[in-house]
Structure 1
Amino acid sequence: MGPHEAARRIADLNGHELSYVANKHSSIVLLNEAVEDLVTAHARLDISQAWGDRPQ
């Protein structure tokens, strides 16, 4: 779903505003940092430690 389609479902917001926010607040660098944060958080979970780092 693109910004214009999403804006049709959000009152008082248009596609240009959504597109601007998306372009202003996201980048490849920020997405990579978010992925790294998620992977690190997942590695801290008990279940991740029980699985180990490779299949047996």
Structure 2
Amino acid sequence: MTDLIVKAAVKEQLADQNISSDFYDALDSEVADLLADATRRSDANDRKTVQPRDL
């Protein structure tokens, strides 16, 4: 699987929190699922462009 998230950006956003090493894999998986769902929705609406409403 391709890394969809940038660890440095996540660390910056959660600067006051400790982050477990497996959090990044879980977050990456959630993002992949979100993108797959958005793609299915745009396809179901006969569009090639994924739009915010597909989220």
Q: Same fold (TM over 0.5)?
A: no
Q: Which has the higher contact order (CA 8 A, sep 6+)?
A: 2
Structure-1-length-normalised TM-score:
0.39
Structure-2-length-normalised TM-score:
0.40
- Which protein has the bigger helix share? 1
Q: Which has the larger radius of gyration?
A: 1
